Amino acid sequence: MPTNLIVDTVFAVDALLTEDELGWKRKARAFADERIVPTIESDFENEYFRRELVAELGAAGFLGMHLTGYGCAGASAVAYGAVCLELEAADSGWRTFVSVQGSLAMSAISKHGSDEQKSTWLPKMATGEAIGCFGLTEPGGGSDPAAMTTTAGPDGDDWVLNGTKRWIGLASVADVAIIWARDPEGTVRGFVVPTATTGFRATPIEGKLSMRSSIQCDVTLDNVRLPASAVLPHARGLSAPFSCLNEARYGIVWGAMGAARTCLEAAVERSRTREVFGAPIGSRQLVQAKLADMFVEYEKGMLLALHLGRLKERGALTPAQISVGKLNNVREALSIAHTARSILAGDGITSEFPVMRHMANLESVRTYEGTDEIHQLVLGRALTGIAAF
């Protein structure tokens, strides 16, 4: 069976996309197949971030593609989701790159920045000439950004930043960091920080067994002095960084289904070709039951992603709805990866198949941008009106 037959059956999700959206999807799939898949196993093994792909992602128009103006494509939410799907079908690390660049760093500037900040950074970030990162999370409170201790103190016309951030994607290769810090009144403010600024230091976190083709860092801000023009003028309070997290979480809803699809395809292919007890394992009812359950969850996840995308295009997507998508699709993608690994048996733990790599990556995806538990609590609050954080 051709591998893409799976996606074209049952609910025919591709048939629900516009020609423009299908064009983006095909372009991303070709990019993933030609530029990521051939080297991803060794890059993952060697913890190698393939820097040259950044400009190629920019040339393809994927960086900040859902934004409008300043060199960005102004594509639909579904087109962006479809690109996330195809990139993550190759590896979560590269979907993460596109998310950090477009959904977090560029979105922060686009939503909350001045005209000068937009014209300085967005065109360069859209082409990949400049890499951005997003410094929100701190060592003392990943799930609780309100526990933020990084400070921004005014000093004459300047601001001076002090503090530490953790798990900041791409920070050590970034040209610009969006840093969130508290001002003396306790209000969370955002700052556009060129990473060459004295006092900014990013150190890659070592020993990761997940997202190994990507980079996550500890960041220290030691008396980082910035001009008044560095503050994001339209960002006040935690709702500003959360508005960017909404964008990134939305991309994950789609991306996770890409990882799931690759695992499902590997399991289907194996079930047709691997013979045990004198017959293909796919002829066994137990294996077919597993495949059917994986497939049902994959198709449901795709329909959920598409529904959220259409809501987003109408400006009607709520944070609670995004939580449904992030919680469900990552949880089910991980379950699909686990089941695929069981169908592949011992070979499933090797890098001959992409399944274990996706499974390891999805553990990170399950944790960042709001853990399962955080999204359960967001939904618990939406249902009961009671916050149980």
Closest separation between CB of residue 266 and ligand TGC, Å?
26
**Mask for 292-321, x = binds ligand TGC (CB under 6 A):** ---------------------------x--
Could you say which of 169, 282, 309, 354 contacts ligand TGC (CB under 6 A)? 169
**Mask for 111-150, x = binds ligand TGC (CB under 6 A):** -----------------------x-xx----xxxxx----
368 binds ligand TGC (CB under 6 A): yes
131 vs 178: CA distance, rounded Å: 11
Could you say which of 242, 280, 313, 376 contacts ligand TGC (CB under 6 A)? 242
Q: Which residue, among 186, 172, 193, has the nearest Cα to 105 in the 3D structure?
A: 193
Q: What residue ranges in the chain does DSSP mark as E strands? A: 68-69, 72-73, 132-135, 151-155, 158-169, 176-182, 188-194, 200-204, 216-226, 275-276, 279-280
Helix, strand and coil percent figures for the chain, each rounded to 5: 60, 15, 25
- Closer Cβ to ligand TGC, 39 or 243, answer by number: 243
- Closer Cβ to ligand TGC, 138 or 297, answer by number: 138
194 binds ligand TGC (CB under 6 A): no
354 binds ligand TGC (CB under 6 A): no
Q: DSSP for 262-283? A: HHHHHHHHHHHH-EETTEEGGG
Q: Are the C-beta atoms of residues 280 and 297 closer than 8 Å to each other?
A: no
379 binds ligand TGC (CB under 6 A): no
Closest separation between CB of residue 171 and ligand TGC, Å?
8
374 binds ligand TGC (CB under 6 A): yes
Residue type at 115?
Answer: D
- Residue nearest to ligand TGC as judged by C-beta position: 169
Lookup result for tokens 């003392």: 140
237 binds ligand TGC (CB under 6 A): yes
Q: Which residue, among 37, 71, 379, 389, has the nearest Cα to 213 in the 3D structure?
A: 37
75 vs 92: CA distance, rounded Å: 21
Catalytic residue among 21, 129, 369, 373: 369
| Pairing status of strand 158-169 against strand 151-155 | antiparallel
State yes or no: is 369 an active-site residue.
yes
Strand, helix or coil for residue 95: helix
The residues that touch ligand TGC, with contacts defined as CB under 6 A, are 96, 100, 134, 136-137, 142-146, 168-169, 216, 237-239, 242-243, 245-246, 319, 368-370, 374, 378, 387, 389
Q: Which residues are catalytic?
A: 369
